[in-house]
Amino acid sequence: MRIAMIASEAAPFIKTGGLGDVMQALPAALARIPGNQVSLFLPYYKRIKYDPAVEAELVTSFTVHLTWRQQYAGLFRWAGSTDSLAVYFLDNEYYFCRDGLYGFYDDGERFAYYAKAVLSAMEALELQPEIVHCHDWQSALIPVYLEAEFRSSFPQARTVFTIHNVEYQGKADASFFGEVLGLDDRWRGVCSFDEGINFMKAAIVQADLVTTVSETYAQELRYPYFAHGLSGILSSRGERLVGITNGIDTELYDPAADPALAAHYSAANPTGKQRCKQALQKALGLEEKDVPLLAMVTRLASHKGIDLLCYILPRLLERELQLVIVGTGEAKYEYALQAVAAEHPGKFSMNLRFDPTLASQVYAGADLYLMPSKSEPCGLSQLIAMRYGAIPVVNATGGLKDTVPAYNPETGEGRGYTFQSYNGDDFLGAIDRALGDYHAAPAAWAALGKADMEQDFSWTIPAQRYMELYCSIV
């Protein structure tokens, strides 16, 4: 099958969050299926274009029209492309050669341009994709432009739109329709929502299929608490809103081979994990003693549950344990957490940085991994944590609910500790249950860690599920 994947970030080229991980692993997993030809499109951001490690050559160039605007587009092909997986970059220095990816006053215009540029690129390449799979609001106008202006070039193409996080929808004033989009007036209704233009809403209405990144989140999105205004629109898609839980790159995240670690280990031979814990304590200036080590690797954003963490922190730190946090984000959380950490040297290590090497070391060194997210479309860190034998403590929402069934010490079933509503005391209660089991039943605890590590987190199954969906609409 010929599949075009369109996103605004993909590792290893560029990544700001989980979307970047998914866009590295999913296209690769699809490309491994015999008969598939996957083309991945990305903006040619400054950081990609001037990265000496990323070689690409110009294929062609053309002009993209957005009402009166006539913008250059250069189409580059990554030198590492293969027959089954080609990566293309859309070049326009005015839109993409900036510091950072998103958050500019003209983001709407930048990604409207991107949508049209990608469709023109597919035309120039004579790609004829059977599936055009778009991710998040940055590529959400593609199903619209495809139908409105490119249908004759791609008579067979079917569109899939995946929501990785409904919080970010791509919104603009109503005037954006006439000033930038340049679509025929009959598309105004599709693109409009709440008296403005809403990219994500347009894709939800227009795409042949809408998916999201876990089954529970697909259900939650039908409710106002989770859907950030789009519950009605999302419910109206009925069965055509499907959840497929993400995997992780199990080669990249492998405690038996991860070059960042002080020692390697696996479910079959877990002894190295203790060495990783000691190395982490030493590296971060924590006291080198045998206490449960709790960890978080996270963006410091409110939907990640940082409020709950701050609320329980004084009580949590009265317990015999150590806490390591890695991440950056909202200033108020950075200040608050740093201030508490300064009062607890040797016990609480706060690392305000984005550092994949340290992140690996933390997953490997941790006994417990905390993820109190208010909502979580899928969540990848709890999967990485389990793969590294750190037991998750999570709010049972979205993908966390699907991937961390509650542990029952009586039967040994389940994968971690959960709490059922967004509430700090319940969060602390779940941590206390975990700490209780950690101390009271070391053998059962070790068995839980082993069972967590043995799970199949690879992309093989999710990629198959996407194939089934694709086949259902082509």
For residue 401, give both structure tokens.
């609910």
Measured distance CA(273)–CA(291) in Å, rounded:
14
CB of 271 to ligand GLC, least distance (A): 31
- In the list 246, 382, 397, 418, the residue contacting ligand GLC (rule: CB under 6 A) is 246
Residues 141-200 that bind ligand GLC (CB under 6 A): 164-165
The least distance separating ligand GLC from the CB of residue 354, rounded to whole angstroms, comes to: 14
Q: How far is the CB of 162 from ligand GLC (least distance, A)?
A: 8
Window 317-336: contact mask with ligand GLC (x via CB under 6 A): --------------------
Binding segment toward ligand GLC, per CB under 6 A, in 11-19, 184-192, 435-443, 447-455: 11-19
Question: Nearer to ligand GLC by C-beta: 19 or 90?
Answer: 19
In whole angstroms, how close is the CB of 137 to ligand GLC at the nearest point? Answer: 12
Please identify, using beta-carbon distances, which residue of 164 and 277 lies nearer to ligand GLC: 164
User: Nearer to ligand GLC by C-beta: 206 or 403?
Assistant: 403
Q: Give the binding-site size for ligand GLC (rule: CB under 6 A).
A: 14
Q: Quick one: which of 19, 286, 324, 431 contacts ligand GLC (CB under 6 A)?
A: 19
Answer yes or no whether residue 402 interacts with ligand GLC by CB under 6 A: no
CB atoms within 10 A of CB 105: 7
Which of 13-21, 37-45, 309-317, 347-355 is the region at the interface with ligand GLC (rule: CB under 6 A)? 13-21
Question: By the 8 A CB rule, do 416 and 409 touch?
Answer: no
* Neighbour-count burial for 370-409, b at 16+ CB within 10 Å, e otherwise: bbbbbbbbbbbbbbbbbbbbbbbbbbbbbbbbbbbebbee
Q: How far, in whole angstroms, is CA 283 from its chain's centroid?
A: 28
Phi, psi (5° rounding) for residue 350? -105, 120
**CB nearer ligand GLC, residue 181 or residue 380:** 380
Stretch that binds ligand GLC, among 12-20, 96-104, 170-178, 318-326 (CB under 6 A): 12-20
- Cβ proximity to ligand GLC, 301 vs 310, nearer residue: 301
Q: How far is CA 286 from the centre of its chain?
A: 30
Residue whose CB is less far from ligand GLC, 49 or 303: 303
Applying CB under 6 A, does 213 fall inside the site for ligand GLC? yes
Least Å distance, CB 42 to ligand GLC, is: 16
Q: Which is nearer to ligand GLC, 12 or 17 (CB)?
A: 17
Q: Interface with ligand GLC includes 22 (CB under 6 A)?
A: yes
In the complex, the smallest distance separating the C-beta of residue 93 from ligand GLC, rounded to whole angstroms, is 28
- Is residue 416 close enough to count as binding ligand GLC by CB under 6 A? no
Nearer to ligand GLC by C-beta: 379 or 449? 379
The answer to whether residues 170 and 108 touch, using CB atoms and an 8 Å cutoff, is: yes
Q: Which of 8, 18, 143, 407 binds ligand GLC (CB under 6 A)?
A: 18
108 vs 399 by CB, closer to ligand GLC: 399
How far apart are alpha carbons 122 and 88 in whole angstroms?
A: 10
Residue number of the CB atom closest to ligand GLC: 18
Does the footprint of ligand GLC cover residue 26 (CB under 6 A)?
Answer: no
Query: By rule CB under 6 A, what string of x and - marks binding of each residue 344-383 to ligand GLC?
Result: --------------------------------xxxxx---
Contact 370, 419 (CB under 8 A): no
36 or 375, CB closer to ligand GLC?
A: 375
Question: With respect to ligand GLC, which residue has the nearer C-beta, 21 or 258?
Answer: 21
Residues contributing to the site for ligand GLC (CB under 6 A): 17-19, 22, 164-165, 213, 246, 376-380, 399
